[in-house]
Amino acid sequence: MAKVRVGIVGCGGIANQKHMPSLKANSDLNEIVAFCDIIEERAVKAKADFGTEDAKVYTDYHDLVNDPNVDVVHVCTPNVAHCPITVAAFEAGKHVMCEKPMAHNTEDAQKMIDAWKKSGKKFTIGYQNRLRDDTQTLHASCEAGELGDIYFAKAHALRRRAVPTWGVFPNKALQGGGPLIDIGTHALDITLWMMNNYEPASVSGSVNFKLGRQADGPDGNVFGPWDPETFEVEDSAFGFIKMKNGATIYLEASWALNILKSMEASTTLCGTKAGAEIHHGGSYPQDELIYNTVEHNQLMEKTISPAGVVDFFEGGASAEGVREQKQWLEAIINDTEPLVKPEQAFVVTQILEAIYKSAETGKEVYFD
């Protein structure tokens, strides 16, 4: 079986922390044959650490996407660059994995969808949290109807003081937003996936700029002090989402919020037969999946506490990242659908943009 030949665009944090180590862990299915970064030294180092001996190094993504030796392009750049690189890759006849979120706004996401459909190639978005043990187990329960009709949910992406101080995270022009678009996107993705509901009716949002720009705000940050002068994005955001079938979702996201419990890529589901909660993130050394139901006229809780894995912050491949790449590569090789479908990721982007728009206008945003 011929290996999939991968090209990496953007050799910064997420490429080194997730994509390249996870691809290396699946070396029986792929080889990384090209690297591109506007800082050439980063691409050179990535080649030395993860590439084939004859891998190419580029500083212009157009050169990489048009390289005939590349089969699939991984887009690991700041959010605003996702669209042009993805569209160019599809126009060059490549498969594309784009890091989350799909885009920083719906207009760009639509361009990516259009280019994908025209290309006939594979397309997926990097929502690796679907591949964790707890999320896989809960999703199986939802598919089996064990929770019944899920009519209310909470999507949790809360940090107490964990503002990322590297890269371009606080840069609104390059990222499009802060914790809502950065980690809120993961919580919303797994919540919609569990509910199998991708038809929003309306969104109300609230966005806060309370702690990030305070002169004394950096105190206590787990990643070290940030610069309030360059902190251009929100420090917390909240959204209330009404779905067309009457279900509602409450989304909460923060990099800095004076709370006790920190949860990321977590969800609470309330169904007509039972409920369930996933606890994942800073306050939980191990992932927790808790079901709540009634048995023999008694309220019952069933808890699953798997061994879990440590989130990747300083490099290395986590279990879910390795699984993500395996199923993606196998989808290309076997001509099957990847786990994360572009249409699903598109709805996530629509909702996130609507929260920002609602907060800006003070009005509820309605979908057609």
Supply angle C-alpha 206, 211, 216, rounded to 5. 170
Overall average pLDDT of the 25-42 stretch: 98
Phi, psi (deg, nearest 5) at residue 63: -65, -40
Q: Are residues 112 and 134 in the same domain?
A: no
Q: What is the mean pLDDT of residues 86-97?
A: 98
pLDDT greater than 70 at residue 315: no
The whole-angstrom separation of Cα 190 and Cα 130 is 6
Are 155 and 233 part of one and the same domain? Answer: yes
Q: Of the residues 121, 145, 163, which one is the last residue of a structural domain?
A: 121
Categorize the per-residue pLDDT at 310 as very low, low, confident or very high, splitting at 50, 70 and 90.
Answer: very low
Confidence of residue 311 (pLDDT cuts 50, 70, 90): very low
Q: Which domain holds residue 190?
A: 130-314+343-366
Domain contains 241:
yes
Is residue 18 a part of any domain in this protein? yes
Asked if residue 115 and residue 232 are part of one domain, the reply reads: no
Q: Is 298 exposed, middle or buried (0-12, 13-18, 19+ CB in 10 A)?
A: exposed
pLDDT at position 213, please? 87
pLDDT at 314: 40
pLDDT for 305 equals: 54
**Residue 173 forms part of a structural domain:** yes
Are 111 and 143 in a shared domain? no
22 and 144 in a single domain? The answer is no
- Helices then strands, each counted (H, E), the chain: 12, 15
CB of 365 closer than 8 Å to CB of 203: yes
Q: Confirm whether 195 is domain-assigned.
A: yes
Instruction: Identify the CA nearest to 114 among candidates 98, 91, 94, 97.
Output: 91
First to last CA, the chain: 46
